[in-house]
Structure 1
Amino acid sequence: MLVFFDSSAFVKRYINESGTDQVLDWCDKATEIGLASIILPEIISAFCRLRRESKISEAQYRQLKSLLLTDIEDASLCDLAPTISALENNTLRAMDAIHIASAIIMKADIFISADKRQCEAAVQTGLRVESLF
Protein backbone atom coordinates (compact mmCIF):
# COMPACT_ATOMS: atom_id res chain seq x y z
CA MET A 1 0.00 0.00 0.00
CA LEU A 2 1.36 3.42 -0.98
CA VAL A 3 0.89 5.75 1.98
CA PHE A 4 1.43 9.44 1.22
CA PHE A 5 2.40 11.78 4.05
CA ASP A 6 2.45 15.55 3.98
CA SER A 7 5.08 17.33 6.08
CA SER A 8 2.73 18.05 9.00
CA ALA A 9 2.15 14.32 9.38
CA PHE A 10 5.58 12.87 8.51
CA VAL A 11 7.40 15.12 11.00
CA LYS A 12 5.50 13.24 13.73
CA ARG A 13 7.65 10.21 12.86
CA TYR A 14 10.56 12.09 14.46
CA ILE A 15 8.95 14.41 17.02
CA ASN A 16 6.73 12.75 19.63
CA GLU A 17 3.46 14.67 19.64
CA SER A 18 -0.24 14.11 19.05
CA GLY A 19 -0.59 11.80 16.04
CA THR A 20 2.83 10.14 16.35
CA ASP A 21 1.37 6.70 17.12
CA GLN A 22 -0.91 6.90 14.07
CA VAL A 23 1.99 7.90 11.81
CA LEU A 24 4.13 5.04 13.08
CA ASP A 25 1.24 2.60 12.53
CA TRP A 26 0.77 3.82 8.94
CA CYS A 27 4.52 3.55 8.31
CA ASP A 28 4.36 -0.08 9.47
CA LYS A 29 1.38 -0.80 7.18
CA ALA A 30 2.94 0.86 4.14
CA THR A 31 4.66 -1.13 1.45
CA GLU A 32 5.71 2.20 -0.05
CA ILE A 33 5.89 5.70 1.42
CA GLY A 34 5.14 8.65 -0.85
CA LEU A 35 6.40 12.17 -0.17
CA ALA A 36 6.47 15.46 -2.06
CA SER A 37 9.98 16.69 -2.80
CA ILE A 38 9.38 19.74 -0.60
CA ILE A 39 9.23 17.56 2.50
CA LEU A 40 12.97 17.66 3.18
CA PRO A 41 13.31 21.46 3.54
CA GLU A 42 9.99 21.68 5.39
CA ILE A 43 10.94 19.11 8.02
CA ILE A 44 14.54 20.32 8.35
CA SER A 45 13.07 23.79 8.93
CA ALA A 46 10.91 22.37 11.74
CA PHE A 47 13.96 20.69 13.29
CA CYS A 48 15.92 23.96 13.06
CA ARG A 49 13.08 25.84 14.77
CA LEU A 50 13.05 23.30 17.62
CA ARG A 51 16.82 23.66 17.95
CA ARG A 52 16.61 27.48 17.99
CA GLU A 53 13.90 27.31 20.65
CA SER A 54 16.13 24.95 22.70
CA LYS A 55 13.50 22.20 22.53
CA ILE A 56 16.10 19.84 21.08
CA SER A 57 19.87 19.85 21.45
CA GLU A 58 22.41 20.11 18.65
CA ALA A 59 23.09 16.37 19.00
CA GLN A 60 19.36 15.59 18.79
CA TYR A 61 19.08 17.83 15.73
CA ARG A 62 21.89 15.94 13.97
CA GLN A 63 20.34 12.59 14.90
CA LEU A 64 16.86 13.59 13.66
CA LYS A 65 18.31 14.98 10.44
CA SER A 66 20.26 11.76 9.86
CA LEU A 67 17.17 9.62 10.47
CA LEU A 68 15.12 11.73 8.06
CA LEU A 69 17.77 11.54 5.33
CA THR A 70 17.98 7.77 5.76
CA ASP A 71 14.19 7.34 5.69
CA ILE A 72 13.65 9.34 2.52
CA GLU A 73 16.22 7.24 0.64
CA ASP A 74 13.60 4.48 0.49
CA ALA A 75 10.59 6.75 -0.08
CA SER A 76 9.07 7.61 -3.43
CA LEU A 77 9.44 11.33 -4.08
CA CYS A 78 7.25 13.25 -6.50
CA ASP A 79 9.38 16.04 -7.96
CA LEU A 80 6.83 18.03 -9.95
CA ALA A 81 3.11 18.17 -9.52
CA PRO A 82 0.39 20.11 -11.32
CA THR A 83 -0.97 22.14 -8.44
CA ILE A 84 -3.02 24.71 -10.34
CA SER A 85 -6.38 22.93 -10.08
CA ALA A 86 -5.91 22.25 -6.37
CA LEU A 87 -5.15 25.95 -5.86
CA GLU A 88 -8.03 27.14 -8.03
CA ASN A 89 -10.63 24.91 -6.43
CA ASN A 90 -9.66 25.38 -2.77
CA THR A 91 -8.30 28.00 -0.40
CA LEU A 92 -4.96 26.25 -0.06
CA ARG A 93 -1.44 27.45 0.48
CA ALA A 94 0.90 26.54 -2.36
CA MET A 95 2.78 23.90 -0.38
CA ASP A 96 -0.47 22.21 0.67
CA ALA A 97 -1.56 22.02 -2.97
CA ILE A 98 1.79 20.47 -3.92
CA HIS A 99 1.31 17.70 -1.35
CA ILE A 100 -2.21 16.93 -2.62
CA ALA A 101 -1.20 16.97 -6.28
CA SER A 102 1.82 14.77 -5.54
CA ALA A 103 -0.40 12.22 -3.80
CA ILE A 104 -2.76 12.19 -6.80
CA ILE A 105 0.09 11.77 -9.30
CA MET A 106 1.63 8.97 -7.23
CA LYS A 107 -1.79 7.28 -6.96
CA ALA A 108 -1.52 7.15 -3.17
CA ASP A 109 -3.72 4.61 -1.44
CA ILE A 110 -4.04 6.99 1.52
CA PHE A 111 -3.15 10.64 2.18
CA ILE A 112 -2.17 11.54 5.76
CA SER A 113 -2.10 15.09 7.10
CA ALA A 114 -2.48 17.03 10.32
CA ASP A 115 -3.88 20.06 8.44
CA LYS A 116 -7.69 20.24 8.51
CA ARG A 117 -8.09 22.50 5.47
CA GLN A 118 -5.70 20.35 3.46
CA CYS A 119 -7.57 17.17 4.44
CA GLU A 120 -10.87 18.69 3.33
CA ALA A 121 -9.37 19.66 -0.02
CA ALA A 122 -7.80 16.21 -0.45
CA VAL A 123 -11.19 14.56 0.13
CA GLN A 124 -12.70 16.81 -2.57
CA THR A 125 -10.13 15.50 -5.06
CA GLY A 126 -11.13 11.92 -4.29
CA LEU A 127 -8.18 10.96 -2.11
CA ARG A 128 -8.72 8.62 0.82
CA VAL A 129 -7.66 10.70 3.83
CA GLU A 130 -6.44 9.96 7.35
CA SER A 131 -6.47 13.13 9.45
CA LEU A 132 -4.26 13.60 12.50
CA PHE A 133 -6.22 16.32 14.27
Structure 2
Amino acid sequence: MGVEQRAYLDTSALAKWYMNEVGSESFVDFLQRLGSAVISSLTVMEMRSLLSRRRRMGDLSVELESLLFAALLSDIDRGWLLQVPVGDARFAEATNLIARYPDHPLRTLDALHLTVAADLGVSVLATADRVMANAAASMGFQVARF
Protein backbone atom coordinates (compact mmCIF):
# COMPACT_ATOMS: atom_id res chain seq x y z
CA MET A 1 0.00 0.00 0.00
CA GLY A 2 1.11 3.56 -0.63
CA VAL A 3 1.26 6.38 1.91
CA GLU A 4 -1.17 8.88 0.43
CA GLN A 5 -4.32 8.44 2.50
CA ARG A 6 -6.10 6.61 5.29
CA ALA A 7 -9.61 5.27 4.77
CA TYR A 8 -12.34 3.64 6.80
CA LEU A 9 -13.63 0.50 5.08
CA ASP A 10 -17.17 -0.63 5.72
CA THR A 11 -18.07 -4.29 5.42
CA SER A 12 -19.75 -4.01 2.02
CA ALA A 13 -16.51 -2.70 0.52
CA LEU A 14 -14.12 -4.92 2.47
CA ALA A 15 -15.99 -8.05 1.36
CA LYS A 16 -14.72 -7.32 -2.15
CA TRP A 17 -11.16 -8.01 -0.95
CA TYR A 18 -12.04 -11.51 0.25
CA MET A 19 -14.62 -12.54 -2.37
CA ASN A 20 -14.69 -11.96 -6.09
CA GLU A 21 -17.69 -9.66 -6.58
CA VAL A 22 -18.69 -6.85 -8.88
CA GLY A 23 -16.32 -4.01 -8.00
CA SER A 24 -13.59 -6.24 -6.54
CA GLU A 25 -10.95 -5.16 -9.07
CA SER A 26 -11.64 -1.48 -8.43
CA PHE A 27 -11.51 -2.07 -4.69
CA VAL A 28 -8.13 -3.82 -4.94
CA ASP A 29 -6.77 -0.86 -6.96
CA PHE A 30 -8.12 1.50 -4.29
CA LEU A 31 -6.48 -0.49 -1.48
CA GLN A 32 -3.12 -0.43 -3.22
CA ARG A 33 -3.15 3.38 -3.13
CA LEU A 34 -4.00 3.66 0.58
CA GLY A 35 -1.61 4.57 3.34
CA SER A 36 -3.71 2.63 5.87
CA ALA A 37 -7.03 0.84 6.04
CA VAL A 38 -9.19 1.16 9.16
CA ILE A 39 -12.08 -1.05 10.22
CA SER A 40 -14.02 -1.42 13.45
CA SER A 41 -14.92 -4.36 15.65
CA LEU A 42 -18.36 -4.03 14.05
CA THR A 43 -16.82 -4.82 10.66
CA VAL A 44 -15.45 -8.11 11.99
CA MET A 45 -18.86 -9.13 13.32
CA GLU A 46 -20.61 -8.10 10.09
CA MET A 47 -18.05 -9.97 7.98
CA ARG A 48 -18.67 -13.13 10.02
CA SER A 49 -22.40 -12.71 9.43
CA LEU A 50 -21.94 -12.01 5.71
CA LEU A 51 -19.77 -15.09 5.21
CA SER A 52 -22.24 -17.25 7.13
CA ARG A 53 -25.13 -15.94 5.03
CA ARG A 54 -23.21 -16.66 1.82
CA ARG A 55 -22.55 -20.21 3.05
CA ARG A 56 -26.24 -20.74 3.82
CA MET A 57 -27.10 -19.45 0.34
CA GLY A 58 -24.74 -22.02 -1.17
CA ASP A 59 -22.17 -19.50 -2.41
CA LEU A 60 -19.44 -20.71 -0.03
CA SER A 61 -18.48 -24.06 1.43
CA VAL A 62 -17.99 -24.40 5.18
CA GLU A 63 -14.25 -24.67 4.55
CA LEU A 64 -14.09 -21.53 2.41
CA GLU A 65 -16.18 -19.59 4.93
CA SER A 66 -13.69 -20.51 7.66
CA LEU A 67 -10.69 -19.76 5.43
CA LEU A 68 -11.99 -16.31 4.47
CA PHE A 69 -12.76 -15.34 8.06
CA ALA A 70 -9.32 -16.57 9.14
CA ALA A 71 -7.80 -14.41 6.38
CA LEU A 72 -9.60 -11.36 7.78
CA LEU A 73 -8.31 -12.07 11.29
CA SER A 74 -4.81 -12.59 9.90
CA ASP A 75 -4.93 -9.24 8.07
CA ILE A 76 -5.85 -7.60 11.39
CA ASP A 77 -3.16 -9.47 13.34
CA ARG A 78 -0.40 -8.49 10.93
CA GLY A 79 -1.50 -4.86 10.96
CA TRP A 80 -2.69 -4.62 7.39
CA LEU A 81 -6.10 -3.64 8.75
CA LEU A 82 -6.24 -1.40 11.79
CA GLN A 83 -9.21 -2.49 13.94
CA VAL A 84 -10.71 0.03 16.36
CA PRO A 85 -13.35 -0.72 19.01
CA VAL A 86 -16.95 0.44 18.96
CA GLY A 87 -17.47 1.73 22.50
CA ASP A 88 -20.78 2.49 24.18
CA ALA A 89 -20.42 6.24 23.61
CA ARG A 90 -20.50 5.68 19.87
CA PHE A 91 -24.02 4.26 20.10
CA ALA A 92 -25.33 7.58 21.41
CA GLU A 93 -23.39 9.41 18.71
CA ALA A 94 -24.88 7.13 16.04
CA THR A 95 -28.37 7.78 17.40
CA ASN A 96 -27.75 11.51 17.06
CA LEU A 97 -26.32 11.03 13.58
CA ILE A 98 -29.55 9.40 12.41
CA ALA A 99 -31.49 12.42 13.70
CA ARG A 100 -29.07 14.90 12.08
CA TYR A 101 -29.49 13.38 8.62
CA PRO A 102 -33.23 12.64 8.39
CA ASP A 103 -33.18 12.65 4.57
CA HIS A 104 -30.87 9.62 4.53
CA PRO A 105 -32.52 6.33 5.52
CA LEU A 106 -29.50 5.26 7.57
CA ARG A 107 -29.60 1.80 9.05
CA THR A 108 -28.38 1.29 12.61
CA LEU A 109 -25.07 -0.36 11.78
CA ASP A 110 -24.31 2.09 8.97
CA ALA A 111 -24.76 4.93 11.45
CA LEU A 112 -22.27 3.20 13.75
CA HIS A 113 -19.74 2.82 10.92
CA LEU A 114 -20.10 6.51 10.04
CA THR A 115 -19.72 7.51 13.68
CA VAL A 116 -16.53 5.50 14.06
CA ALA A 117 -15.09 6.95 10.85
CA ALA A 118 -15.97 10.51 11.92
CA ASP A 119 -14.48 9.99 15.40
CA LEU A 120 -11.25 8.74 13.85
CA GLY A 121 -11.01 11.80 11.64
CA VAL A 122 -10.48 9.84 8.43
CA SER A 123 -11.32 11.77 5.30
CA VAL A 124 -12.11 8.80 3.04
CA LEU A 125 -14.86 6.23 3.51
CA ALA A 126 -15.12 3.15 1.28
CA THR A 127 -18.47 1.45 0.84
CA ALA A 128 -20.56 -0.44 -1.69
CA ASP A 129 -23.79 0.84 -0.13
CA ARG A 130 -25.54 3.72 -1.92
CA VAL A 131 -27.43 5.02 1.14
CA MET A 132 -24.30 4.98 3.27
CA ALA A 133 -22.30 6.62 0.48
CA ASN A 134 -24.82 9.46 0.20
CA ALA A 135 -24.90 10.01 3.96
CA ALA A 136 -21.09 9.94 4.14
CA ALA A 137 -20.85 12.52 1.36
CA SER A 138 -23.32 14.74 3.25
CA MET A 139 -21.05 14.48 6.29
CA GLY A 140 -18.07 15.69 4.26
CA PHE A 141 -16.31 12.39 3.62
CA GLN A 142 -14.61 11.71 0.33
CA VAL A 143 -16.51 8.57 -0.68
CA ALA A 144 -15.04 5.67 -2.60
CA ARG A 145 -18.02 3.61 -3.75
CA PHE A 146 -17.63 0.16 -5.18
Structure 2 length-normalised TM: 0.83
Match of 1:86 among 85, 97, 105: 97
Contact 1:78 1:106 in 2 (8 A): no
Question: CA offset at residue 18 of structure 1?
Answer: 0.9
Distance of 1:86 and 1:21 partners within structure 2: 32
Contact 1:34 1:106 in 2 (8 A): no
The alignment status of 1:6 with 2:10, answered yes or no, reads: yes
Aligned counterpart, 2:66: 62
The alignment of Structure 1 onto Structure 2 pairs a total of residues equal to: 132
Larger CA deviation: 5-14 vs 26-35: 26-35
Question: CA offset at residue 68 of structure 1?
Answer: 0.8
Letter in 2 for 1:27: L
Contact 1:7 1:39 in 2 (8 A): yes
Larger CA deviation: 115-124 vs 51-60: 51-60
Root mean square deviation, CA, Å: 1.4
Aligned counterpart, 1:76: 82
Letter in 2 for 1:83: A
Larger CA deviation: 79-88 vs 93-102: 79-88
Letter in 2 for 1:86: L
Residue 40 of structure 1: SS of its match in structure 2? helix
Distance of 1:85 and 1:119 partners within structure 2: 18
Question: CA offset at residue 65 of structure 1?
Answer: 1.1
Residue 38 of structure 1: SS of its match in structure 2? helix
Structure 1 length-normalised TM: 0.91
